[in-house]
Amino acid sequence: MSLILSRRDLNFLLYEWLDVAALARVPRYADHSRETFDAALDTCERIATELFAPHNKASDQNEPALVPGPDGETVRMIPEVGAALRAFCEAGLMAAGQDYDYGGMQLPVVVEKAAFAYFKAANVGTSSYPFLTIGNANLLLAHGTPAQIDTFVRPELEGRYFGTMCLSEPQAGSSLSDIVTRAEPDGDSPLGARYRLRGNKMWISAGEHELSENIVHLVLAKIPGPDGKLIPGVKGISLFIVPKYLVNEDGTRGEHNDVALAGLNHKMGYRGTTNCLLNFGEGTTYRPEGRGGAIGYLVGEPHKGLACMFHMMNEARIGVGLGAVALGYTGYLHALDYARVRPQGRPVGAGGKDPSTPQVRLVEHADVRRMLLAQKSYVEGGLALNLYCAKLVDEERAAKAEGEDATSLSLLLDILTPIAKSWPSQWCLEANSLAIQVHGGYGYTREYNVEQFYRDNRLNPIHEGTHGIQGLDLLGRKVVMRDGAAFRLLGERVRATVQRAVGSGDATLAEQARALGAAAQRLASVTTTLWSAGSPEVTLANASIYLEAFGHVVVAWIWLEQALVAHAALSSGVADADFYRGKLAAAAYFYRFELPKTAPQLDLLASLDRTTLDMQDAWF
């Protein structure tokens, strides 16, 4: 059994539930079939197993280190990282979802994400480099000029350049309105309006390395107004391409840009990914024409940088959720494998009191089964949710290509994005915690992989916006946008699933459907109550609780969807009945143990509780 991901579960989600093979009827994917999708999955599973997983612990134990380089300090890392990434790029995976015109495979997004999950599960540190590069390239394909695409995106998709996103600053963190990096106009160029940037960026993953010919930084900065002052708030933010090395007009690498590595951050997880403090325009490296400032090229319109950046941020948010799922999933598989082979303890009852009674395997204890079922419900539910979101992207793209209205698909993706990011980051992390618990004392030793999985996954509740930020986004923006249109659309899909389950003829599915329907109705009622409070401060005070309850209702819906497919398969007399029984058991667990948790949360929200608002600083 693979301990990275379950291919059987992927097949179930892709082909039995989401019917991904039917995407071959879409003109963009007409050259594909289940055979080509399986070939992509096979390739990713093989490379992840043979080249990414073997150095996961080594890259964790041998963090990137500062060393002298030809243009200042650079980073040294173990050679296995570069070897794995070369294999990834040589297989064409950097461009797996891109157009043929860019050397891509034109894989559906849902297949691309399912395939990439293997790398996240096998080695989240090494997989961060292509993860960021693909997101960087997608943003520039959407908002860059043809010259910018030719100069920077094509080498990224070939694997010659890697990319980053540079948002946070030491004094600002997640508060992007407070960034102070400046971008001074410096004339025009074949790559668009040129600027010189000065400032500091913090927490830049993959910000410095020697793994590629160049690093394409996407940098948020502010263009000063006529008075020389920065425009306050997010309206003044613009987006710039700032390459580590300038690129000559013939495409060859030019001189080192004025971008300097100021230090490395040492995090509890993702240790194989360089995480940097970068100085732009400090004059420590390159001073073209005797002037300081890192050369940057404007992406899109001035002062519209945050809107452009959200293209990569939203993609990264769903990607972080998928990464959280992958780490939780591999932890679950390691825990399950351990529980099946580790003898410990004796059965409850008379036989258990006799020392001569043989020990039983951990998996035979009810409490261990509870922990394994919890993990299974979290990781299989989270994976299904993320692949559902990826399928929405494919459906949206297909609708637009046919000239159809894709508004409903866009709205559904918008409202599900904070859930797809935060719910797995919370509950698949809990799966990792339970995996350690299943291992007992061995679980928190470095000799066992589950210890590292937990540390790696603990970063995901913070990556790309904390739970608090996602909660504010969900309750403060997404449920009320367009007068609640996205919320209504999601409710319609949930009700359709409830009706199918009630009409299935199965008493358990009908019971679960009624529980889901009641929870969804209560969520809608509480949402109305919150927005009737008359005070945004009160409405949003407990947005994180709202996010958690909302997420549990969504995942309960996803589990009912899976249960319907599993029930139909069992009714048809399938060969691998145990797989489908496992799906139904995990759904039952979620409905008996997890969905009921939302009732007291919704009660608290409906009360418009002011505990946190009324708490005074001096009282702590």
How does residue 351 score in pLDDT terms, banded at 50, 70 and 90?
low
Average pLDDT over residues 186-214: 96
CA–CA separation, 245 and 70 (whole Å): 13
Q: What DSSP designation does 20 have?
A: G
CA 474 to chain centre: 16
Q: What confidence category does residue 1 fall into, taking pLDDT thresholds of 50, 70 and 90?
A: confident
| pLDDT exceeds 90 at position 353 | no
Give tens-digit pLDDT for 76-102. Answer: 999 999 999 999 999 999 999 999 999
Phi, psi at residue 221, to the nearest 5°?
-150, 170
* Cβ atoms of residues 188 and 176 within 8 Å: no
Residue 439 maps to a domain:
no
∠ Cα 599 605 607 (to 5°): 105
Cα gap 381→423, rounded to integer Å: 10
Does residue 205 form part of some domain?
no
- As a whole-number percent, the residues of the chain with pLDDT over 90 amount to 90
Q: By the 8 A CB rule, do 196 and 183 touch? A: yes
Residue 290 has pLDDT above 60, yes or no: no
pLDDT number for residue 255: 95
Confidence label for 292 from pLDDT (cuts 50, 70 and 90): confident
Nearest to 453 by CA among 327, 320, 273: 327
- Position 480 in a domain: yes
Question: If you write DSSP's letter for every residue of 22-65 in order, what string do you get?
Answer: GGGGSGGGTT--HHHHHHHHHHHHHHIIIIIGGGHHHHHHS--E
Q: pLDDT band for 439, please (50, 70, 90 cuts).
A: very high
Is residue 179 over pLDDT 80? Answer: yes
Q: Which pLDDT belongs to residue 126?
A: 98
Place of tokens 């390159």: 286
Query: pLDDT at position 235, please?
Result: 86
Q: Where are the beta strands (DSSP E) in 553-618?
A: none
**Average pLDDT, stretch 588-612?**
98
Model confidence at 337: pLDDT above 50:
yes
pLDDT tens digits, 129-142: 999 999 999 999 99
Q: Angle at CA 485, nearest 5°, toward 529 and 20?
A: 125
pLDDT of the residue at 286: 46
State pLDDT tens for residues 52-82. 999 999 999 999 999 988 877 889 999 999 9
Q: Which structural domain, as residue segments, surrounds residue 606?
A: 468-613
pLDDT at position 72: 78
* AA letter at 341: V
Distance, in Å, from the CA atom of 119 to the CA atom of 139, rounded to the nearest integer, reads 22
Structural domain contains residue 498: yes
- Label residue 616 exposed, middle or buried (CB < 10 Å: 0-12, 13-18, 19+): exposed
pLDDT digits (tens, 9 = 90+) for 502-551: 999 999 999 999 999 999 999 999 999 999 999 999 999 999 999 999 99
**CA pair distance 356, 194, nearest whole angstrom:** 80
Cα 109 to its chain centre, rounded Å, is 14
Q: How far apart are CA 393 and CA 315, in angstroms?
A: 10
Kindly calculate the radius of gyration of the chain based on its CA atoms and give it in whole angstroms: 25
Catalytic residue among 464, 548, 561, 594: 464
What span, in angstroms and rounded, lies between the C-alpha atoms of 191 and 206?
24
Whether residue 596 lies inside any domain: the answer is: yes
Q: Which residues pair with 557 in a beta bridge?
A: none
CA 219/CA 446 separation, integer angstroms: 37
Q: How confident is the model at residue 202 (pLDDT cuts 50, 70, 90)?
A: very high
According to DSSP, the β-strands at 214-222 and 161-166 are: parallel
Flag whether 559 is in a domain.
yes
- Residue 228 confidence (pLDDT) above 90: no
Alpha-carbon gap, residue 392 to 10, rounded angstroms: 17
Please report the pLDDT score of residue 352 as a whole number. 63
Number of domains in the chain: 1
pLDDT at 234 over 80: yes
The predicted-structure confidence for 382-404, as pLDDT tens digits, reads as follows: 999 999 999 999 999 999 999 99
Phi, psi (rounded to 5 degrees) for 140: -70, -35
Do residues 591 and 515 lie in contact, with contact meaning Cβ atoms separated by under 8 Å? yes
Closest residue by Cα to residue 593 from 434, 416, 389? 434
Q: Is residue 430 part of a domain?
A: no
Residue that is written with structure tokens 């668009």 in the block:
192
State CA 461 to chain mean position distance: 10
Active site residue 464: yes
Residue 284: is its pLDDT beyond 90?
A: no
Give the pLDDT confidence score for residue 282 in this predicted structure: 78
Instruction: Please report where in the chains the tokens 């050679």 appear, as a residue.
Output: 79
Rounded Cα distance, 482 and 472, in Å: 17
Distance, first Cα to last Cα, the chain: 50
Residue 288 has pLDDT above 70, yes or no: no
| pTM of the predicted protein model | 0.96
Span 143-163, mean pLDDT? Answer: 98
Q: Is residue 167 part of a domain?
A: no
- What's the mean per-residue pLDDT of the chain? 95
| pLDDT the model gives residue 449 | 97
Give the pLDDT mean for 431-441.
98
Q: Averaged over 489-500, what is the pLDDT?
A: 98
pLDDT value at 608 more than 80? yes
Q: Quick check: 285 pLDDT over 60?
A: no
